[in-house]
């Protein structure tokens, strides 16, 4: 097997290693492909579809698609970013995202992607679903109003923490994240140090009493768009 | 030529967005040079005196009066801007959107811990505008031309947008001026 | 009850070897015995098969036929797909509801009977139809619905509802169904008589590679919808590294308007099982699975019996027909009400005892499928063709059909036509010819390929049914002049919304949004800009979705926008006053007006 694979992203010639996904190889070359359900260290999920790129003209999720020699990838194009904007809009109207009082605001990956893609208001009507908050646990809470069903908590708890505290139940529009107990988060063995708690990209799964600690102006995405670290080579191999 | 006119209103909002508008500090003087204010809480003009170039809307539509005012704005303004998260997505008032209106009114007028209401009835006084079944973002009620998110949007955001519009330029806000909180 | 439950769950799990990959069978068995899989049952199952409780919940909550809350001893599921509704399914459901004194979606107060709607149960040719537990009742009208309830109240035994048996094997003692086959046009491939064992013996006389070559020479392509060349699929699977391989026959037949696999399984099961066995020999598999949709449970005992006969004749089992080293057997995996499980990777998830979520590709099933083994998934009809190819040779098969599409195709035709049923036609036949056969010469529109296919208008009836033109898994729904194609599209969106697995954003959210905007247009509140909105949203769902469901779920919108534009144009109107036509102030105030007992001062009714 050859040591490198040559392919093209947006007219740029890229080299990757066998076994890498498009997203990983791009990142290593300082190219940011927007992502939400992907998180370094977890098995790719392929569910948010934000990372969709055109591979030889066909849509594929960059977080799951392995690179192949000679493939031509379209990523940062008007068309793909327009489609991504639509997905972000969908996630905003699907849940109840009240950024003004969310502890995650400024550090939220969903919000940051909306900023990066220049969204001022979603083009779709808000659904205002009725969803539950589970604040039974002394240290951690889950606010399903903000859950985007990315499955990062599910995978982190299962594969990193070895606990399997979260899982999806229901299907289609009724799908939601559920905990491994008769009813409440308090009845699970989740703990503050679990990777699952760190893994949530939005304000759905949070630690209590630490919200708003970082002042406005110093939060992750206050000044620079999400992905800037990758693009400037600060984070060649990882980004969260 | 007469100066273009601006109108502003606060629907189901907290006046925070108006505060942010005032937060443009001394640029307000420049603004007065550029425009005249028509119907607005800033000059306390209660009814439109004529056609306006720009209408700034704070707050969403929570009751019949909000809808009436918003429709009035649409009729009188060339350009309507939803200013702030409440206008764009209902904001904090929209937290009630998942609760049936009956429960909301009962909590407000009958069951709430601080309620003193010897009549034991939900008031039907015409002075109190009828609540809508939920809080509606402004663009679901009338057509809105631009959205300036934020709770409130920074003063600079409002300023930049107004200056662009008044000089017939596209609104191009830098990264740091589009925020949802 | 609890003690009961504990013992029963223990026994069920033991019978399935405490194997977590058999979770579907386990929860189905618990559901059957206790009317639900309660939280308590989930806990017990989780312990017995060493998974987490929430994993069991995740499976149970996925499938429409499983429930965590108790349902009646008898569950009546009225099929509400568009064809059934055209034939009065709503009136039938109302009659059931009235007679039961409940609404659709409820259970009688005594806990005996539940009434629900369910998507297409594969009986569009004898609609309206319903499932009463596993028993199919067809050609319903209001009177029969009432009678059914009255009878059920007496004995709660759905089997006794069947008075008149259907034709062919529907009358078999192990089927005993009132279902009829409606084979309107038998053809030379699928419906030709089967000589049990012939094809297998011919295959075993060749090497596996030669068998694959024969299938390739026949140019057989998949009949399940995607049309992938079957020989090539087998070759990939055979060539993939692995110690064990698997053949799965996809009998999920969930695409509304399709019912031809039901008829094949009823009349030519041996042809299908032989095809599976041949596939097993060709790719080197020793395990076969027939994934049978829950709606077809009434065929299960019959099919098990056919399998047993085949074992008895050494057409299954060890050293099949005396061939050293060729061991192959087939088990039936029941589904439980999920259209998405027809998608091959979702089907594999379901066979593994998981939610029916599709899997990420790559790896493809041919590389890593069922339990990570290289796996072939083929449609019922495809496997039926295989048997014929081995019987008569690929050259004969090639004589049927057209240039790029060899063989015959089974069409399930329903809707506004005089002869609904199954037609075996050569590929290349025009839509016009097909419509004439079915007595639908005056059709206005035809939905080709089910909701995920396309709505074709009259000017295009000259097109032909084949892979290069109108490709279809076999569903043809015929609509007459008095039908509204947008209402039909709306019904299809309902179907996709409920049947989406919910895994990925565009499909989970986008279909709901498509329906909202189509509803606005249907309500007469649409504007020309809404058509652009629908087009762009539809394309987003199509391009960005993860699997075939989401990649086709916008088709009802996209193909009607293309082929029936004038219907939309007639409904939309530019609003010039700057107001949103969809905002209804009176609806928004009506609750408040009721509560406060006064009318609006600003908006007079
Ligand atoms: C949502 C969805 C549902 C499907 N349902 C079926 C089905 O019910 N039966 C079937 O044979 N194929 C179905 N398919 C196609 C299968 O994924 C797969 O392509 C097929 O079973 C392969 O068999 P074939 O090559 O013999 O056609 C479905 C695909 C999708 C995306
Ligand atoms: S709780 Fe957070 S991590 Fe878990 S699925 Fe929801 S958004 Fe993703
Ligand atoms: S397209 Fe629909 S059915 Fe397919 S994975 Fe996505 S949500 Fe599930
Ligand atoms: S990041 Fe690839 S699908 Fe979500």
Q: How confident is the model at residue A3 (pLDDT cuts 50, 70, 90)?
A: confident
For ligand 3, say whether the CB of C338 is within 6 Å of any of its atoms: no
Q: What is the mean pLDDT of residues C81-103?
A: 98
Q: What is the DSSP string of C537-567?
A: HHHHHHHH-SSHHHHHTTHHHHHHHHH-HHH
Q: Any idea what DSSP says for residue C191?
A: S
Distance between CA atoms of residues C302 and C198, nearest Å: 22
Determine if the pTM surpasses 0.90: yes
In this complex, do A125 and B140 lie within 8 Å of one another by their Cβ atoms?
yes
CB C509 within 8 A of CB A91: yes
CATH of C77-163, one of 3.40.30.10, 3.40.50.980, 3.40.50.620, 3.40.50.2000: 3.40.30.10
Closest ligand relative to A94 C-alpha: 2
Contacts of C among chains (3+ CB pairs under 8 A): A, B
Pocket test for ligand 2, best of A96, A148, A158, A185 (most atoms within 8 A of CB): A148
Interface of B with C (CB under 8 A): 64-65, 67-68, 71, 74-75, 80, 100-102, 105, 122-124, 126, 129-134, 136, 139-143
Task: Please tell me the distance between residue A151's alpha carbon and the centre of ligand 2 in angstroms.
Answer: 6
Q: How confident is the model at residue C3 (pLDDT cuts 50, 70, 90)?
A: low
Of C212, C251, C267, the residue nearest C235 (C-alpha) = C212
Q: Does residue A238 belong to any structural domain of this protein?
A: no
Which tens digits make up the pLDDT trace of A169-217?
999 999 999 999 999 999 999 999 999 999 999 999 999 999 999 999 9
A143 and A26 part of one domain: no
Give the minimum alpha-carbon distance from B31 to chain A in angstroms, rounded to a whole number. Answer: 24
The two three-digit tokens of residue B12, written as one number = 């189901």
A90 and A46 part of one domain: no
A51 and A170 part of one domain: no
A56 and A101 part of one domain: no
Distance of CA A142 to the CA centre of its chain: 17
Of C594, C593, C78, the residue nearest C602 (C-alpha) = C593
Q: Does residue A50 belong to any structural domain of this protein?
A: yes
Pocket test for ligand 1, best of C253, C343, C450, C504 (most atoms within 8 A of CB): C343
A13 and A123 part of one domain: no
Task: Please tell me the distance between residue C362's alpha carbon and the centre of ligand 4 in angstroms.
Answer: 15
Give the minimum alpha-carbon distance from A218 to chain C in angstroms, rounded to a whole number. Answer: 31
In this complex, do B140 and C580 lie within 8 Å of one another by their Cβ atoms?
yes
The two three-digit tokens of residue A97, written as one number = 């995202």
Task: Please tell me the distance between residue C398's alpha carbon and the centre of ligand 1 in angstroms.
Answer: 23
Pocket test for ligand 3, best of C546, C548, C552 (most atoms within 8 A of CB): C546
Range of the domain at A92: 82-210
Number of domains observed in the structure of chain A: 2
pLDDT given for residue B1 in this prediction: 65
Q: Number of H helices and number of E strands within chain A?
A: 6, 10
Sheet holding C130-132, edge to edge: C113-118, C74-79, C130-132, C135-137
A101 and A69 part of one domain: no
A42 and A115 part of one domain: no
Of B7, B3, B9, the residue nearest B35 (C-alpha) = B3
Distance between CA atoms of residues B55 and B78, nearest Å: 8
- Quick check: do C77-163 and C410-479 share a fold? no
Q: Around Cβ C33, how many Cβ atoms within 10 Å?
A: 15
Q: Does residue A233 belong to any structural domain of this protein?
A: no
CA-nearest residue for atom 30, ligand 1, is: C343
Distance of CA C420 to the CA centre of its chain: 18
Q: How confident is the model at residue C185 (pLDDT cuts 50, 70, 90)?
A: very high
Contacts of A among chains (3+ CB pairs under 8 A): B, C
Q: Can you tell me which residue has the tokens 């004995």?
A: C155
Query: What percentage of chain B has pLDDT greater than the value 90?
Result: 98
Interface of B with A (CB under 8 A): 82, 85, 88-92, 94-95, 97-98, 134, 137, 139-140, 146-149, 151, 175-176, 178-181
Say if residue C280 is exposed, middle or buried (CB neighbours under 10 Å; 0-12, 13-18, 19+): buried
Which tens digits make up the pLDDT trace of A117-136?
999 999 999 999 999 999 99
Residue C130 DSSP SS3: strand
Task: Please tell me the distance between residue A225's alpha carbon and the centre of ligand 2 in angstroms.
Answer: 22
User: Looking at A100-104, C3-7, C175-179, C306-310, which range is the least confident one?
Assistant: C3-7
Of C168, C166, C191, the residue nearest C180 (C-alpha) = C166
Whether C52 and chain A come into contact, CB under 8 Å, resolves to: yes
pLDDT at A240 over 90: no
> Tell me: domain C410-479, CATH 3.10.20.600, correct?
yes
Query: Phi and psi (nearest 5°) for C319?
Result: 45, 60
Distance between CA atoms of residues C235 and C525, nearest Å: 54
In this complex, do A225 and B139 lie within 8 Å of one another by their Cβ atoms?
no
Closest ligand relative to C344 C-alpha: 1
Distance of CA A232 to the CA centre of its chain: 20
Query: Phi and psi (nearest 5°) for C333?
Result: -105, 120
Chain A residues lying within 8 Å of C338, measured CB to CB: 171
In this complex, do C497 and A173 lie within 8 Å of one another by their Cβ atoms?
yes
pLDDT at A239 over 50: no
Chain C residues lying within 8 Å of B101, measured CB to CB: 591-592, 595
For ligand 3, say whether the CB of C340 is within 6 Å of any of its atoms: yes
In this complex, do B91 and A100 lie within 8 Å of one another by their Cβ atoms?
yes
In this complex, do A120 and B139 lie within 8 Å of one another by their Cβ atoms?
no
Fold of C184-397: Rossmann fold (3.40.50)
Q: How confident is the model at residue C605 (pLDDT cuts 50, 70, 90)?
A: confident
Q: How confident is the model at residue B49 (pLDDT cuts 50, 70, 90)?
A: very high
Distance between CA atoms of residues C128 and C87, nearest Å: 6
In this complex, do A90 and C505 lie within 8 Å of one another by their Cβ atoms?
yes
Q: Any idea what DSSP says for residue C364?
A: P
Q: Does residue A225 belong to any structural domain of this protein?
A: no
pLDDT given for residue C324 in this prediction: 94
Which domains, from first to last, does chain B contain? 5-95+132-178 (3.40.50.700)
C246-251/C375-379 β-pairing: parallel
Cα nearest neighbour of C596 on chain B: B124
In this complex, do B132 and C588 lie within 8 Å of one another by their Cβ atoms?
yes
**Complex ipTM tops 0.90:** yes
pLDDT given for residue A52 in this prediction: 98
pLDDT given for residue C496 in this prediction: 98
In this complex, do C544 and A171 lie within 8 Å of one another by their Cβ atoms?
no
Q: How confident is the model at residue C2 (pLDDT cuts 50, 70, 90)?
A: low
Of B44, A231, A120, A85, the residue nearest C505 (C-alpha) = A85
A93 and A43 part of one domain: no
The two three-digit tokens of residue C309, written as one number = 């006969």
CATH of C492-605, one of 1.20.1440.230, 1.10.760.10, 1.20.120.340, 2.40.110.10: 1.20.1440.230
Domain ranges for chain C: 3-62, 77-163, 184-397, 410-479, 492-605
Distance of CA C265 to the CA centre of its chain: 14
CA-nearest residue for atom 8, ligand 2, is: A150
Whether C605 and chain B come into contact, CB under 8 Å, resolves to: no
Q: How confident is the model at residue A234 (pLDDT cuts 50, 70, 90)?
A: confident
Whether C62 and chain A come into contact, CB under 8 Å, resolves to: yes
Q: Does residue A17 belong to any structural domain of this protein?
A: yes
Ligand 1 contacts (CB < 6 A) are C 222-226, 228, 250, 252-255, 340, 342-344, 377-379, 382, 547-549
Domain boundary among A49, A76, A103: A76
Q: What is the mean pLDDT of residues C581-602?
A: 95
In this complex, do A171 and C512 lie within 8 Å of one another by their Cβ atoms?
no
Contacts of B among chains (3+ CB pairs under 8 A): A, C
Of B85, B147, B176, the CB nearest to A100: B85
Domain of A69: which CATH number? 3.10.20.740
Q: C26 or A240, which is more confident? A: C26
Which tens digits make up the pLDDT trace of C491-500?
999 999 999 9
Of B90, B98, B180, the CB nearest to A130: B98
pLDDT, averaged across chain C: 97
Task: Please tell me the distance between residue A172's alpha carbon and the centre of ligand 3 in angstroms.
Answer: 8
Give the minimum alpha-carbon distance from C592 to chain B in angstroms, rounded to a whole number. Answer: 6
Which tens digits make up the pLDDT trace of A40-70?
999 999 999 999 999 999 999 999 999 999 9
Q: Around Cβ C312, how many Cβ atoms within 10 Å?
A: 10
What residues pair up with B57 in beta bridges, in sequence order? B9, B82
Domain of A202: which CATH number? 3.30.70.20
For ligand 3, say whether the CB of C393 is within 6 Å of any of its atoms: no
In this complex, do A120 and B85 lie within 8 Å of one another by their Cβ atoms?
no
Q: How confident is the model at residue A235 (pLDDT cuts 50, 70, 90)?
A: low
Which tens digits make up the pLDDT trace of C124-181?
999 999 999 999 999 999 999 999 999 999 999 999 999 999 999 999 999 999 999 9
Q: What is the mean pLDDT of residues C411-440?
A: 97
Distance between CA atoms of residues C305 and B87, nearest Å: 66
Whether C410 and chain A come into contact, CB under 8 Å, resolves to: no
Query: Distances from the Cα of C326 to the Cαs of A140, C76, C319, C434, in angstroms?
Result: 56, 44, 5, 42
pLDDT given for residue A238 in this prediction: 43
Q: What is the mean pLDDT of residues C260-287?
A: 98
Q: Does residue A100 belong to any structural domain of this protein?
A: yes
């Amino acid at each position: 097997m050859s040591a490198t694979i040559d392919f093209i992203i947006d007219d740029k010639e890229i080299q990757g290693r066998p076994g890498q996904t498009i997203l990983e190889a791009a990142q290593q070359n300082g190219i940011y492909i927007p992502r939400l359900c992907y998180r370094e260290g977890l098995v790719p999920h392929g569910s948010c579809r934000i990372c969709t790129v055109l591979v030889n003209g066909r849509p594929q999720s960059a977080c799951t698609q392995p690179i192949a020699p000679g493939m031509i990838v379209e990523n940062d194009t008007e068309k793909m970013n327009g489609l991504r904007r639509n997905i972000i809009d969908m996630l905003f109207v699907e849940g109840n995202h009240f950024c003004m009082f969310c502890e995650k605001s400024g550090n939220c990956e969903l919000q940051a992607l909306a900023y990066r893609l220049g969204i001022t208001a979603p083009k779709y009507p808000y659904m205002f679903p009725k969803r539950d908050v589970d604040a039974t646990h002394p240290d951690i809470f889950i606010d399903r109003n903000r859950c985007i069903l990315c499955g990062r908590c599910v995978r982190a708890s299962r594969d990193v923490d070895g606990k399997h505290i979260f899982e999806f139940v229901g299907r289609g529009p009724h799908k939601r994240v559920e905990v491994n107990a008769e009813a409440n988060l308090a009845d699970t063995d989740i703990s503050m140090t679990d990777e699952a708690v760190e893994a949530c990209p939005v304000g759905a799964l949070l630690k209590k009493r630490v919200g708003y600690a970082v002042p406005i102006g110093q939060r992750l995405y206050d000044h620079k768009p999400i992905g800037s670290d990758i693009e400037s080579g600060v984070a060649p191999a990882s980004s969260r | 030529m007469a100066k273009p006119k601006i109108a502003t209103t606060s629907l189901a909002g907290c006046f925070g967005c108006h505060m942010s508008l005032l937060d443009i500090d001394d640029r307000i003087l420049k603004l007065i040079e550029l425009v005249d204010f028509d119907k607005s809480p800033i000059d306390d003009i209660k009814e439109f005196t004529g056609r306006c170039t720009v209408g700034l809307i704070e707050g969403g539509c929570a009751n019949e009066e909000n809808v009436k005012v918003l429709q009035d704005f649409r009729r009188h303004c060339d350009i309507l801007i939803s200013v702030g998260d409440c206008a764009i997505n209902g904001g904090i008032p929209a937290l009630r959107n998942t609760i049936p209106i009956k429960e909301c009114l009962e909590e407000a007028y009958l069951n709430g811990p601080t309620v003193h209401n010897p009549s034991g009835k939900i008031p039907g006084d015409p002075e109190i505008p009828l609540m809508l079944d939920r809080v509606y973002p402004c663009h679901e009620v009338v057509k809105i031309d631009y959205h300036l998110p934020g709770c409130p949007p920074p003063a600079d955001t409002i300023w930049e947008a107004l200056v662009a519009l008044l000089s017939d330029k596209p609104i191009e806000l830098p990264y740091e001026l589009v925020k949802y909180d | 009850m609890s003690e009961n439950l504990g013992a029963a769950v223990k026994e069920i799990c033991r019978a399935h070897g405490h194997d977590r990959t058999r979770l579907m069978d386990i929860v189905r068995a618990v559901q059957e015995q206790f009317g639900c899989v309660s939280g308590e049952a989930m806990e017990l199952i989780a312990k017995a098969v060493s998974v987490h409780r929430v994993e069991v919940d995740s499976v149970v909550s996925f499938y429409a036929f499983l429930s965590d809350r108790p349902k009646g001893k008898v569950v009546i599921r009225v099929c509400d797909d568009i064809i059934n509704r055209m034939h009065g399914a709503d009136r039938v459901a109302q009659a059931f509801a009235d007679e039961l004194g409940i609404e659709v979606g409820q259970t009688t107060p005594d806990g005996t009977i539940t009434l629900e709607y369910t998507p297409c149960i594969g009986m569009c040719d004898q609609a309206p139809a319903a499932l009463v537990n596993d028993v199919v009742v067809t050609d319903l009208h209001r009177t029969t619905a009432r009678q059914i309830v009255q009878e059920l109240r007496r004995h709660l035994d759905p089997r006794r509802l069947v008075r008149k048996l259907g034709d062919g094997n529907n009358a078999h003692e192990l089927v005993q169904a009132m279902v009829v086959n409606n084979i309107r046009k038998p053809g030379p491939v699928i419906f030709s008589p089967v000589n049990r064992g012939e094809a297998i013996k011919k295959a075993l006389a060749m090497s596996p590679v030669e068998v694959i070559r024969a299938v390739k020479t026949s140019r057989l392509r998949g009949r399940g919808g995607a049309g992938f060349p079957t020989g090539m699929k087998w070759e990939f699977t055979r060539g993939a590294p692995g110690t064990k391989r698997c053949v799965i026959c996809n009998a999920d037949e969930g695409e509304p308007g399709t019912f031809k696999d039901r008829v094949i399984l009823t009349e030519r099961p041996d042809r299908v099982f032989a095809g599976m066995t041949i596939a097993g020999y060709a790719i080197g598999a020793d395990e076969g699975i027939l994934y049978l949709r829950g709606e077809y449970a009434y065929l299960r005992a019959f099919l098990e019996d056919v399998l047993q006969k085949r074992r008895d004749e050494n057409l299954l089992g060890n050293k099949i027909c005396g061939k050293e080293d060729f061991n192959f057997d087939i088990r039936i995996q029941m589904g439980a009400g999920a259209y998405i499980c027809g998608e091959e990777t979702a089907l594999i998830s379901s066979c593994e005892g998981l939610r029916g979520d599709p899997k990420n590709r790559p790896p493809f099933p041919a590389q890593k499928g069922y339990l990570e083994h290289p796996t072939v998934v083929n449609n019922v009809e495809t496997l039926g063709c295989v048997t014929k190819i081995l019987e008569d040779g690929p050259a004969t098969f090639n004589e049927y059909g057209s240039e790029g599409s060899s063989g015959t195709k089974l069409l399930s035709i329903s809707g506004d036509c005089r002869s609904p049923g199954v037609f075996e036609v050569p590929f290349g036949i025009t839509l016009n010819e097909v419509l004439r056969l079915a007595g639908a010469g005056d059709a206005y529109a035809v939905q080709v390929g089910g909701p995920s296919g396309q709505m074709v208008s009259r000017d295009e009836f000259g097109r032909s049914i084949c892979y290069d033109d109108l490709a279809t898994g076999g569903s043809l729904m015929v609509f007459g002049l008095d039908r509204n194609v947008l209402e039909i599209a709306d019904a299809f969106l309902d179907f996709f919304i409920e049947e989406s697995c919910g895994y990925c954003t565009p499909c989970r959210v986008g279909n709901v949004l498509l329906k909202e905007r189509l509803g606005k247009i249907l309500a007469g509140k649409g504007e020309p800009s809404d058509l652009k909105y629908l087009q762009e949203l539809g394309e987003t769902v199509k391009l960005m979705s993860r699997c075939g469901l989401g990649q086709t779920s916008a088709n009802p919108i996209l193909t009607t926008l293309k082929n029936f534009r004038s219907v939309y144009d007639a409904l939309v109107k530019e609003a010039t006053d700057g107001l949103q036509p969809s905002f209804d102030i009176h609806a928004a105030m009506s609750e408040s007006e009721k509560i406060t007992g006064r009318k609006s001062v600003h908006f007079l009714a």
